[in-house]
């Protein structure tokens, strides 16, 4: 299955600033997903990163706040913009493991704290 390298692993940021999170996959994948996990909560899908087209955002998430890039089939970035303490979460990228009905692999996550 695919191996994902995600960075940074953690960061502490000032409110009002932006942070860009990177995910590098060791194989080409059509779809890549970005999730948020707020403290003590489950995973919520932010958006689907599509190569060569705009990302598709879930309800409650907007491009201005979470711009996504997908320049090729092995790489994607998620930016958390104009951060507030409410953005403190773990952010994870995910890709399919391969089979159509198979599972998805997650990156190691980025633990973001906004102060």
Partner 1 sequence: QKEVEQNSGPLSVPEGAIASLNCTYSDRGSQSFFWYRQYSGKSPELIMFIYSNGDKEDGRFTAQLNKASQYVSLLIRDSQPSDSATYLCALKTNDYKLSFGAGTTVTVRA
Residue 50 is a binding residue for partner 1 (CB under 8 A): no
CB of 79 to partner 1, least distance (A): 20
Candidates 23, 32, 33, 55; binder of partner 1 (CB under 8 A) is 33
**CA torsion, ordered 22, 28, 29, 33, to nearest 10 deg:** 0
Distance CA 4, CA 56 (A): 21
Distance CA 71, CA 17 (A): 24
> 59: which residues sit within 8 A by CB, 6+ positions away?
none
Residue 57 is a binding residue for partner 1 (CB under 8 A): no
For partner 1, the closer CB: 77 or 108 = 108
CB of 67 to partner 1, least distance (A): 20
Distance CA 98, CA 89 (A): 28
Candidates 38, 72, 82, 97; binder of partner 1 (CB under 8 A) is 97
Residue 51 is a binding residue for partner 1 (CB under 8 A): no
Q: Which two tokens stand for residue 46?
A: 């932010």
Other CB atoms within 10 Å distance of the CB of residue 57: 17
Site for partner 1 in 77-96 (CB under 8 A): 92, 94, 96
Binding site for partner 1 (CB under 8 A): 31, 33, 41-45, 48, 92, 94, 96-97, 101-109
């Amino acid at each position: 299955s695919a191996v994902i390298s995600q960075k940074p692993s953690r960061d502490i940021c000032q409110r009002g600033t932006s942070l860009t999170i990177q995910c590098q996959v060791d194989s080409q994948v059509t779809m890549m997903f970005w999730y948020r996990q707020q403290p003590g909560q489950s995973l919520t899908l932010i958006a689907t990163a599509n190569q060569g087209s705009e990302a598709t955002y879930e309800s409650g998430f907007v491009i201005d706040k979470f711009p996504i890039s997908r320049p090729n089939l092995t790489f994607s970035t998620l930016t958390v913009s104009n951060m507030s303490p409410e953005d403190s979460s773990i952010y994870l990228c995910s890709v399919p493991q391969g089979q159509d009905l198979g599972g998805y692999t997650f990156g190691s996550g980025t633990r973001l704290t906004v102060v």
